[in-house]
Copies of this chain bind each other. A is one copy, B any other.
Amino acid sequence: MAELVNVMPLFNDLAKIEHEHRVACQDCSLFRLCLPLGLQNSDLAQLDTIIKRSQSYKRAHTLFSTGNEFKSLYVVRSGSFKTTISAVNGREQVTGFYFPGEFIGLDAIHQQSYQSNAKALETSSVCELPFENLQDIGKQMPQLQIQLLTRLSKELSSDKNLMLLLGKKTADEKIATFLLSLSKRFHDRGFSATEFQLTMSRSDIANHLGLAVETVSRVMSRFQEDGLIEINGKAISLLNTTAINVMCG
């Protein structure tokens, strides 16, 4: 890691470390969760050359909007994002939340333009993968192609589960399912499975789950009364994951 820390002022220095701007894939803490999984060292080095590591974006920064020309896939490096699509009449649906190691923009490939809007929920950074370059180097890396397909397939699968949630679950089941999904993802990333921050607003959660904000508040308050969780603004603790699991339906 040949970093230029010694010539940087402290502020930038900290920011760089915090968001690991210059960390190569093989040294990145997300390695296990990210695209390079399964690649040879030489392939990895080549992948590394096409990746553009972003500066950190502030909350509400727009990564791309519907209709923008598709050039790159993005992998969340730090922080979190939400994606939305909008109906003609202005109604919006939050189609997903994205955490470190997860891909954004996969639904843009077929139209060569982004089909959704992606926005940072907090201070965040991404790795940008220019799609043409990715295809170029992919020609000699079957493993990379499989990784890509696997990513797409995984998102497809979780979208189908979200359909089940939206179409068939009650408000309680929706919230329980949502909380456990977050828990699992944080755990996979080496964080606590029971204590974490909800980086998205209640209204984003409500929208994503096909509920009204008020319903989200009420259900969460009730879950708290029943000793299932403890909430403190954005901070949440899962006190009884077994019970929450049962509630998922």
Contact = CB atoms under 8 A, between A and B. Distances in A.
Interface in A203-230: 207-210
A128 B166 CA distance: 31
A76 to B, nearest CB: 17
Contact of A91 (B109, B135, B208, B249): B249
Contact of A153 (B110, B209, B210): B110
A145 interface: yes
Main secondary structure of the interface of A (DSSP, over half): helix
A248 B149 CA distance: 32
A248 B155 CA distance: 26
Instruction: Determine which residue in A115, A157, A208 has the highest number of CB atoms from chain B within 10 A of its CB, and name it.
Output: A157
A110 B109 CA distance: 18
Interface of A: 85, 87-89, 91-93, 95, 106-111, 115-116, 135, 138-139, 142, 145-146, 148-157, 159-164, 166-169, 207-210, 248-249
